[in-house]
Structure 1
Amino acid sequence: MSRPHTFTPPPCAHARQLRTARGDFAVLDASPSTVSRGTALLLPGYTGSKEDFIALLEPLSAAGYRTVAVDGRGQYETDGTDRQETYAQGELARDVLAQAAALGAPDDGTVHLVGHSLGGQIARAAVLLDAAPFRSLTLMSSGPAEVAEAQQLKVKVLSDALTALTMAEVWEAMRALDPPEDAATDGEALRRRWLRHRPAQLIATGRQLATEPDRVAELAAVPLPVHVLSGERDDTWPVPLLDEMAQRLGARRTRIAGAEHSPNTDRPEETAAALVGFWNSL
């Protein structure tokens, strides 16, 4: 779980509903503070939310990029159903295409798409459906196929718990397993976020993480610039596996020193600089 240090957006951003052809999505929308260089759409990971990108909003907007972080269907402040089939990867990918269309003229190729972890695999699926709306794709701590075996086990345990317990009961169980340093940084805002996730969304997307096929060859065939960004350590997808994926894609590769699975919260300034450097190079 990404742990943003704050749930309060900076002055450059405001919380709103993004109205699309596939429904409304809760977003944090940060306006550029200089001449606009483009738009970035940021997709959070498993159990995450748009707030995971709060620390990126100010530096990205200062560099001239309108930055929109979104809660996906059934995540935190975006509504969802209790039916797992509504969170099939193809459905979530079509949501992303609708979000991109709502941010600009459809198929204008001006949106830089960024997906963290699960969000990266959803972003990849969206690009494979239709790459036309996008200027680039950044896969942040998001691997070529299923998560590591230890993470598959964690996802299964969580999914089993979600079928038998309430969200509040599962939260208390997770907190009891947290190391002391993590427990000390958690707050009521994280609990509120957890309680507003739809269990069906977590079960369905958890299954996707545990069974995702390798689609790197498909993505390599798409004429879109790709950036593989991660921390220097990652227990969800081993960093050497991400290195190999970047080579297979012919992608730009960035490792953020001092960061682990969530460079967006571990080292936000360095992560923002890497994103801006990639986008500006295009």
Structure 2
Amino acid sequence: MSRNAVFAPPPDARAYRLRTARGEFAVVDSPVAHGVEPRGTVLMLPGFTGSKEDFTLLHEPLGARGYRTVAVDGRGQYESDGPEHDEAVYAQAELARDVLAQVAALGTRVHLVGHSLGGQIARAAVLFDHAPFESVTLMSSGPARISESQQQRVKLLRDALDTMTMAEVWEVIQAMGPPEEVGGPAVGPGDPQRLRNRWLGTRPAQLFATGRQLCSEPDRVAELADVPLPCHVLSGTYDDTWPVPLLDEMARRLDARRTVIPGAEHSPNTDQPLPTARALADFWDGVSAQRRPARP
């Protein structure tokens, strides 16, 4: 598949603005494949500097397994509106309430998937109210703040945004070869112009606020472990943002299903989409089987 095609939604998918009680959010909504029995709905939250397009390669294989998939740009990300300079609206609690509003607008309980920063927002939403969710998957998203090396790189990005425009920072990122967690603009899916457009569409205040969150997030694993909700920790075999042994330990603390995708790093959804989709659907199928009453 071409890099251009990765930004294009699947043929049956709809790109639209989801109206919620907290505003409108840009989504790509992909249905269950024709002739396949529906098994559930999935809401997918992207990471820092990412967007809904990061999940493009998951839509079709998950649809073939019976799952409607809805990928969303969070407030101030790419095609979702948000203020340029007011960081308060991007506080984690506000972003978590946005997720709850998105689920309410979809009108059904969902399996929640959060990649990286999206995983920590997903956790916050579940801790507010777990009732709208069937399960939660934390994809390449760790128990607390990001690694020291990634904190330094996020700080470099924030410093650059203090003195340069988004367009100027884009050029610097291209020249430097960005770090993994700040790598969405340069190494994510899509051709350079589309990636540049995504970067320019993201609000600076969103990057400032969420970058600080990544560098200061407390360990809330014990809180999540107390929530009666099936949990899945999925990652690649290498991750510099949250080292894989840390993710292994988090899964043990959560009594969660643990999946490691061979050949993937921080973004299994784009590095190895087919095995990632298979692992996700297998987990959700198991959740459904546990919920289904036994036959007499």
* Shorter-chain TM band: over 0.9
- Contact preservation (8 Å) 1:5, 1:265: no
Query: Per-residue deviation at 1:12?
Result: 2.4
SS in 1 for 2:17: strand
SS in 1 for 2:146: coil
> In the alignment, what sits opposite 2:138?
139
> In the alignment, what sits opposite 1:16?
16
- Contact preservation (8 Å) 1:4, 1:51: no
Structure 1 residues 182, 65: closer, same or farther in 2, change over 3 A? closer
> In the alignment, what sits opposite 2:285?
280
Q: Which amino acid aligns with 1:86?
A: V
Structure 2 Cα separation of the partners of residues 211 and 66 of structure 1: 34
TM-score, normalised with respect to structure 2: 0.90
Deviation string 1:82-121 (CA, Å, 9 cap, x unpaired) is: 200110000000000000111114xxxx200000000000
> In the alignment, what sits opposite 2:97?
94
Structure 1 Cα separation of the partners of residues 192 and 159 of structure 2: 25
Deviation string 1:12-33 (CA, Å, 9 cap, x unpaired) is: 2110111100000000000111
Query: Per-residue deviation at 1:79?
Result: 0.4
> In the alignment, what sits opposite 2:292?
none
Deviation string 1:226-248 (CA, Å, 9 cap, x unpaired) is: 00000000000000000000000
Range with greater deviation from structure 2 (37-46 or 11-20): 11-20
Range with greater deviation from structure 2 (251-260 or 5-14): 5-14
- Contact preservation (8 Å) 1:147, 1:236: yes
Query: Per-residue deviation at 1:160?
Result: 1.1
1:265 is the counterpart of 2:273: no
Unaligned runs of 5+ in 1: none
SS in 2 for 1:6: helix
Q: Which amino acid aligns with 1:23?
A: G
Q: Which amino acid aligns with 1:6?
A: V
> In the alignment, what sits opposite 2:44?
42
> In the alignment, what sits opposite 2:294?
none
> In the alignment, what sits opposite 1:207?
212
Structure 2 Cα separation of the partners of residues 98 and 36 of structure 1: 23
Structure 1 Cα separation of the partners of residues 6 and 32 of structure 2: 21
Structure 1 Cα separation of the partners of residues 4 and 231 of structure 2: 26
Query: Per-residue deviation at 1:182?
Result: 5.3
**1:206-245 → structure 2 map (5 Å cutoff):** 206-245=211-250
SS in 1 for 2:74: coil
Structure 2 Cα separation of the partners of residues 102 and 61 of structure 1: 20
> In the alignment, what sits opposite 2:182?
none
- Contact preservation (8 Å) 2:4, 2:191: no
Q: Which amino acid aligns with 1:96?
A: V
Query: Per-residue deviation at 1:192?
Result: 0.5
Q: Report how many residues are paired.
A: 275
Deviation string 1:208-257 (CA, Å, 9 cap, x unpaired) is: 00000000000000000000000000000000000000000000000000
Query: Per-residue deviation at 1:62?
Result: 1.1
Deviation string 1:155-184 (CA, Å, 9 cap, x unpaired) is: 1110111121000000000000128x959x
Q: Which amino acid aligns with 2:225?
A: A
SS in 2 for 1:17: strand
**1:91-240 → structure 2 map (5 Å cutoff):** 91-105=94-108, 110-178=109-177, 186-240=191-245
Deviation string 1:3-60 (CA, Å, 9 cap, x unpaired) is: 9962101112110111100000000000111221110000000000000000000011
Structure 1 residues 152, 248: closer, same or farther in 2, change over 3 A? same
Structure 2 Cα separation of the partners of residues 67 and 6 of structure 1: 16
Structure 1 residues 55, 35: closer, same or farther in 2, change over 3 A? same
Q: Which amino acid aligns with 1:227?
A: H
Q: Which amino acid aligns with 2:155?
A: K
- Contact preservation (8 Å) 1:22, 1:98: yes
> In the alignment, what sits opposite 2:54?
52
Deviation >6 Å, runs of 4+: none
Structure 1 Cα separation of the partners of residues 177 and 144 of structure 2: 27
Q: Which amino acid aligns with 1:74?
A: G
